[in-house]
């Protein structure tokens, strides 16, 4: 198994497009070069159940925040220039 340095693992994560914290970089170093590349290319083997369980709660927070921002904008501008009856709140489906 070919080894990989900390700097090389950090570079690999940056080149993959997302970088990573020190613990993820150290985990790749422990896997070696082939293991690190395999881990990044075969990402479908990573357990995402914790993130998937958190999505409904995050969606509710996002929806509440979007409503607050919209209300703030309406108060700040005094309503839309076309009149409040023409303002529509768009629902965003994050789980598509």
- CA quadruple 44, 47, 50, 52: dihedral sign: positive
CA 35 vs CA 2, 18, 20, 46, 83: distances in Å? 9, 18, 16, 14, 60
Whether the pLDDT of residue 94 is over 50: the answer is: no
CA 58 vs CA 18, 48, 54, 85, 91: distances in Å? 21, 15, 6, 30, 15
Domain boundaries, the chain: 6-45, 49-86
* pLDDT of amino acid 95: 44
* pLDDT of amino acid 85: 53
* pLDDT of amino acid 1: 66
Average pLDDT of the chain, as a whole number = 76
- Whole-prediction pTM: 0.50
* pLDDT of amino acid 96: 40
Q: For the segment 26-73, what is each residue's pLDDT rounded down to a tens digit?
A: 999 999 999 998 988 887 887 878 878 878 888 888 888 877 777 666
């Amino acid at each position: 198994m070919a080894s990989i340095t900390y700097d090389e693992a950090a570079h690999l994560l940056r080149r993959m497009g997302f970088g990573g914290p020190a613990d993820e970089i150290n985990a790749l170093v422990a896997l070696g070069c082939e293991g690190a590349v395999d881990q990044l290319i075969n990402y479908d083997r990573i357990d995402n159940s914790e993130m998937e369980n958190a999505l409904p709660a995050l969606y509710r927070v996002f929806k509440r925040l979007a409503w607050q921002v919209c209300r703030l904008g309406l108060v700040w501008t005094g309503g839309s220039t076309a009149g409040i009856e023409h303002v529509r709140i768009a629902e965003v489906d994050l789980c598509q």
